[in-house]
Amino acid sequence: MALLAGGAGRAVGTLALLALTALLLAWGPDARLRGLWFDFGQRLAPRVRVSGPAVIVAVDELSLTRYGQWPWPRQRLAELVDRIRGADPAAIALNFLFPEADGFSGASLATRLPGLAARTAAWVASVPDGDHALGRALAASPSVIGLAGLDGPGAASPRGRFTPVVVRGKDPSGQVRRFRTALRSVPDIDGGAAGYALLSADIPGGVVRRLPLVAAVGDTLVPGLGIEVLRVAAGAPAFGVRSDWGGVRAVGVGDVWMPTDADGTMWIHFTPHDAARYVSAAAVLAGEVAPERLERKLVLVGVTALGLGDQHVTPLGESLPGIEVHAQALENMFDGRVLVRPRWAEWAEAAALVVAGTLVVALTPVVGGGRAALLALGLGAILLGGSFGGYRHLSLLFDGLTPALALGIVYTATLGGALAEADRQRRALRQRLQEEREAAARLAGELEAARRIQLGLLPRPEGAFPGEGRFRIAAVMEPARVVGGDLFDFFLLDSDRLLFLVGDVSGKGLPASLFMAATKAFYRSISTRHAVELARTMREANAEMGRDNPEAFFVTLVAAVLDVDSGRLWYSSAGHEAPWVMHPDTGKVERLEGAAGPPLCVLDDFPYETATARLRPGDTVLMVTDGVTEALEPGGRLFGTPRVTALAGDAAQVPARTEPARLVADLVGAVRTFREPLEPADDVTLLAVQWLGPAATGEAAGPGLTAP
C-alpha cells in the first residue's frame, strides 16, 4: 500500500518542501525561531570570560546614597572624569546624554531662585558653570560622548562633529540602520569629547542579541560605542568599514576588524553577569579604587541604580544594564570570540532542508510511517546537532531549529498525502473488489448454470432404460472445476445393440466442456449411421472434430457396442485407458487391450480398428478416465492403473460388488480417500455396464472372453 500511495504522498511532500524552503529564505535574520535557537545555544554553552578590557564605573545605589539623587551636578561628573583620568585609562566613555544645560550652574540657579538679594544672587551666579567644567574634563581625557538617533518627522539636519570614516568598498548607507537626525549633548560638553558614538539600538523581541557597530545619521556613517572606544583608545583618526554589494562585511579600527551582518550589527557572545566588571562611582570619587584597577582600561561610565539604568534581557535569560552589554561586546572583540552568521548561512540552511526533506519525501511512502518518523527525527537531530556544534566550536550561527521543524512539517505532509492516497486507493480497491465479487457471483451463477447444462447433457442411468432386464448401467462424472472436459454416453442403436463410451477432452474448465459437448454430439450422430462399425465411426469423428478445432483440442475416447441378446461386444479405443471386464463367476479381471489408436484430432486419416469379445451373463465392463488413474495423494503418488485393477479384482470376488452402481460408488470413494485432503486435479469419470444375459435368467455363456 505504501508503494501504491507514494505518488500522492511525494507530490504533497514536495510542494510542502518547496513552500517551506522559499519561506525559510524569505525570513530575515531577526526571525523569532532563529533567535530562540541561538539563545538556546548560548544558554547551553555561554562564553567563558577570558579578558577584562572594560571596567564599568557605575552610578549605583551606593553612589546615590553618598552623593544624592540623579542627575548629579555636572561639576561632580567632571570630578568623576578627572578621578578616572588620573588612573591613566585607555579611554573613557559616558553612556548618557546632556541635551540641556546644567540646572546646578550658578547662572541657572540665580534665575530659578527669584527673590534673592542682589548680593546673594551675584554670589550664586558666580558659581562655576558645570557644563564648562565637564567639557574641560572630557577635553583633557581620551573621552567618548554618546548621541542618540532620532526618527521623528520634520527632524532637523544633524549638527556637530562626527567621527571620520573610511569606507572600503561600496557605500553601505542603504544597508545600515538610518536615523533622520541625532540628539546630542550641549555644545560645551559635546565639543570637548574626542569621540562620538551612537547609543541607540533596535532590540527586536525584547532580547538584545546584537549591537550596531555602524549606523547612519542622515547621510553620515556613525560608529557604535564599542568601535569608537577602541578608536579613541588606539588614537586612530577614523574608523573603517568594509562593504560590498551585499552590505557591510566588517567594521574596525587599525588592525582590529569585527565581522558583522550586512546591516553593520555584531552578534554578542554573552557570559553571565559578573560583578567583577563593576566599580562604584562613589568609590572612585572617594579615592577608594586603586589606580591599577582603571589603568589602561576602557572605562565605561553609566547609571545602574535600580529604576534609573536601562535594563536589557540577554539570551541567557538575565536582565543586564545596557552598559554591561557594551562591556561584553568589548570583551568579544578582545577575546576573539565574536559570533558570526555567514552570509551564506540561510542558503546552507535551505540546502540542508532540501536534502533532508528530499530523503523524507522519497522514503516515507516506501518504508512506511514508523520508519520514516525515525528517519525524520534522526535528520532533525543531525540538523540541530550540527548547528549547535558550529556555534560551540566555530562561533558560527546556523539555524538548525527552523529547518528541523520544517522537516517535521514535510514529513507530516508526505505521510498525510500518502495516507490520503492510500485511503483513496483502498476505497477504489474496495469498490473494485465489490464489482469483482458481483462479477464473480454472476460468473459463478453462469458456471453453475453451465454445470447443470453439461450434466444435463449426460444421460441418467437410473431412468434411461425402464423395464430393461438384460443389462444394468451406472455412471458418474465429477468435474475438477465447475465444468469439465470428461464425457460419457450410452444409448440403444436399435432394440438389441447398446453403445456406451467414455471420453476425456484435453484441458479443463469451460472451453473443454464446450468441446466435450461437441464431441458427444458428433459421436452420437455419427454412430447412429454405422451401428457396430466402430472403426468407421472413429475415423469419421476424427475427421469431423479435427476440421473446426482452432484451439487444437484432442480427445481420448473408448467406445463399445454390446449385443444385449448374445453378449457379443465390439470396442475401439482412441488413446484411452483400456476397459476392465470383471467375471464374478470366476472372480477374475481382464483388460480389453485391442483396437487401440491415437486420440481423436491428433492424426488425420488414422485407420482406427474394431476389436470384439464375448461376455458371460453377470460380467461387468468398467471404463474410467485418467482423473481416476492419475489422482494424486499428498505424498505425490498416483492412484494408478494397478490399483484400479486390484479394486476391480476385489469386487469380482463378491458378485454383489460388481453391480454397476455399487462398483462405481466404491471406486469413486476409494479415489476421494486416496487424494484427501487435496482437491481433484482432473475430472473423474467412471462408467460400468453389466450384462445380465438375453433375459434376467438368460443362458450361461462359455468361460472367459472369446472372439466371435
Cβ pair 614, 708 in contact under 8 A: yes
Predicted local distance difference test score (pLDDT) of residue 6? 56
Query: pLDDT tens digits, residue range 66-91?
Result: 999 999 999 999 999 999 999 999 99
* Among the listed residues 225, 177, 224, the one whose alpha carbon sits nearest the alpha carbon of residue 204: 177
| pLDDT over 90 (residue 521) | no
Query: How large a percentage of the chain has pLDDT more than 90?
Result: 57
Q: What is the 3-state secondary structure (H, E, C) of 216-255?
A: EECCEEEEEHHHHHHHHHHCCCCEEEEEECCEEEEEEECC
Taking 70 as the threshold, does the pLDDT of residue 119 lie above it? no
77's grid cell: 561628573
Average pLDDT over residues 338-348: 91
Q: Is the pLDDT score of 439 beyond 90?
A: no
Alpha helices in 479-508 (DSSP H): none
| pLDDT band of 700, cuts 50, 70, 90 | very low
Burial of 485 (0-12, 13-18, 19+ CB in 10 A): buried
248-303 confidence digits (pLDDT tens):
999 999 999 999 999 999 999 999 999 999 999 999 999 999 999 999 999 999 99
The pLDDT of residue 708 is 33
Return the pLDDT at 158: 63
pLDDT for position 385: 95
> Residue 513 has what pLDDT?
74
Question: Among 4-8, 373-377, 401-405, which is the least confidently predicted range?
Answer: 4-8
Q: Residue 686 above 70 pLDDT?
A: yes
557 touches 498 (CB < 8 A): no
Reported as a single tens digit per residue, the pLDDT across 41-68 is: 999 999 999 889 999 999 999 999 999 9
Higher-pLDDT residue of 508 and 287 is: 287
On the question of pLDDT at 2 being above 90, the answer is no
Instruction: Pull the grid cell for residue 8.
Output: 500522492
Give the C-alpha separation, 6 to 640, whole Å.
54
Output the nine-digit C-alpha cell for 458: 449426460
Distance set, CA 96 to CA 159, 284, 327, 410 (Å)? 18, 18, 15, 50
The pLDDT-based confidence of 453 (bands split at 50, 70, 90) is low
| pLDDT band for position 456 (cuts 50, 70, 90) | low
Query: At a CB cut-off of 8 Å and minimum separation 6, what does 507 contact?
Result: 485, 515, 551, 553
Average pLDDT, the chain: 86
How far is CA 65 from each of CA 85, 248, 282, rounded to the nearest angstrom? Answer: 24, 45, 9
Query: How many other CB atoms sit within 10 Å of the CB of residue 459?
Result: 17
Task: Tell me: cis bond preceding 71? Omega within 30 of 0 counts.
Answer: yes
**pLDDT for 210:** 92
Q: Say whether pLDDT at 168 is over 80.
A: yes
- pLDDT score of 707: 34
What pLDDT score does 443 carry?
63
Range 574-583 average pLDDT: 94
> 308-338 pLDDT, tens per residue?
878 899 999 999 999 999 999 999 998 888 8
